[in-house]
Structure 1
Amino acid sequence: MLSVVVLISGGGSNLRALLEAAADAEYPARVVAVGTDRPEAEGLTHAEDFGVPTFEVALSSFETRDAWGDALLEQIRQWNPDLVVLSGFMRLLPAHVVDALAPHLINTHPAYLPEFPGAHGVRDALAAGATQTGASLIVVDNGVDSGPIIARERIAIVPGDTETSLHERIKPVERRLLIQAVLDIANGNLDLKELSKA
């Protein structure tokens, strides 16, 4: 059984989908803990609904990003996860945290990488006048959304799309890619170490 820690900053819709998938006895992964950098993160309610423990490590509680990273890594390691999923986690992890967890550290992104990396992928796609964007799942490295691509899928941008409407169409694709990738990792059909060497 693959053990997973999920880190969130917001609503946690991807987390919810993964928790629902993992509630099926046939699904070979379990979310063992959910962490956040924001105590007000709405997605924590999903963890509570499924009886999953949560932890909070707020950046504002530490003098440096590295100190915050140390505390976050300590919390994650308490759960000894096989995989860490960044799901709408809006903080860049310090390099030493990425190095400690890689390559078993993955992230969802609302764009067809390497197009439109960064915190505003949906907004940037609209601002660029793109006719399509997408959803991606990557192995996290020390760049900005620059790690090896696990999966990605195209999504059309339609006339009248707003940042909100487009993001709402991207989210179900992100969720599907994440659930399938976790399944593939758990079943041994996806080797993150090999992918990271490529």
Structure 2
Amino acid sequence: MSCKVVVLISGSGSNLQALLDTTAQADAPFSVCAVISNKAEAYGLNRATQAGIPGIVVDHRSFPNRGAFDQALIKEIDQHKPSLVVLAGFMRILTPEFVRHYGGRLINIHPSLLPKYQGLNTHQRALEAGDKTHGVTVHFVTEELDGGPSIVQAIVPIKEGDTPALLAKRVQRQEHTIYPMAVSWFAQQRLQMADDRVLLDGELLPHCGVQISA
């Protein structure tokens, strides 16, 4: 039976599309059973509709605080009984209660080589620091923002004359490769988190996870 995945989004959903493209393959090890957004105008909801998948809005502005929103989100997610919850551009800081509820089956993608550049404006910060390389990380989510253990990183060289926009485009291409890869590993029961470390095929990964050079 295919692994059921719920995807959380806030915007255009390009990583969602990469996941949906993977599920269209005959041998896909996972399926997206629902897409949930905290914003009704998120274009990713259109992608879900086009794929015949429920697109659901849980508007954070309808709740008095972060905790109440997260409880409503948990209730909605759990109706779909997913094996994995995937954050794909979901622009909300999650409460510890939410993270613990999905411990070991909640993953995120972040546009930097974590632990460098947690938070926002990662491409600009990498350029300002004079870095030679940049990239993207898929990681398990823990209570520390962008601090969970890394599963896989794609390393992208920084080129002379790069702008944040140019660098972002090259990084995003790698996002669309490594996110379906990581979700597939989980769906195939090859991937797990144990004591804040990552195991792949029973082997403990280094703190950076699997590294791929773009």
Shared fold (TM-score greater than 0.5)? yes
The answer (yes or no) to whether the contact 1:90–1:119 under 8 Å persists in 2 is no
The answer (yes or no) to whether the contact 1:36–1:57 under 8 Å persists in 2 is yes
**TM-score of the superposition, structure 2-length normalised?**
0.88
Report the CA distance between 1:130 and its aligned residue.
1.7
Matched residue, 2:181:
180
Where does structure 1 lack aligned partners over 5 or more consecutive residues? none
Report the CA distance between 1:176 and its aligned residue.
1.1
Render the CA deviation track for 1:92-133: whole Å, top value 9, x for unaligned.
111100110111000011111111111222222122222211
Question: 1:37-56, aligned counterparts within 5 Å?
Answer: 37-56=38-57
Matched residue, 1:12:
13
Matched residue, 1:167:
168
Matched residue, 1:57:
58
What letter corresponds to residue 118 of structure 2 in structure 1? Answer: P
SS of aligned partner of 2:183: helix
Matched residue, 1:126:
127
Aligned length: 198
Matched residue, 1:152:
153
The answer (yes or no) to whether the contact 1:103–1:196 under 8 Å persists in 2 is no
Matched residue, 1:23:
24
Render the CA deviation track for 1:147-187: whole Å, top value 9, x for unaligned.
01000121111122222111110112112111111111111
**TM-score of the superposition, structure 1-length normalised?**
0.95
Matched residue, 1:86:
87
CA distance in 1, matches of 2:123, 2:12: 17
Matched residue, 2:210:
none
CA distance in 2, matches of 1:196, 1:66: 28
The answer (yes or no) to whether the contact 2:9–2:89 under 8 Å persists in 1 is yes
What letter corresponds to residue 85 of structure 1 in structure 2? Answer: V
Where does structure 2 lack aligned partners over 5 or more consecutive residues? 205-214
* Structure with the bigger percentage of strand: 2
SS of aligned partner of 2:136: strand
What letter corresponds to residue 135 of structure 1 in structure 2? Answer: V
* Percent of residue pairs bearing the same amino acid type: 38
Question: 1:99-118, aligned counterparts within 5 Å?
Answer: 99-118=100-119
Report the CA distance between 1:33 and its aligned residue.
0.3
What letter corresponds to residue 129 of structure 2 in structure 1? Answer: A
The answer (yes or no) to whether the contact 2:136–2:153 under 8 Å persists in 1 is yes
CA distance in 2, matches of 1:127, 1:97: 34
CA distance in 2, matches of 1:105, 1:157: 30
CA distance in 2, matches of 1:188, 1:69: 27
SS of aligned partner of 1:191: strand
SS of aligned partner of 1:14: helix
> RMSD of the TM alignment (CA)?
1.5
The answer (yes or no) to whether the contact 1:9–1:38 under 8 Å persists in 2 is yes
Report the CA distance between 1:68 and its aligned residue.
0.6
The answer (yes or no) to whether the contact 2:191–2:198 under 8 Å persists in 1 is no
Report the CA distance between 1:23 and its aligned residue.
1.1
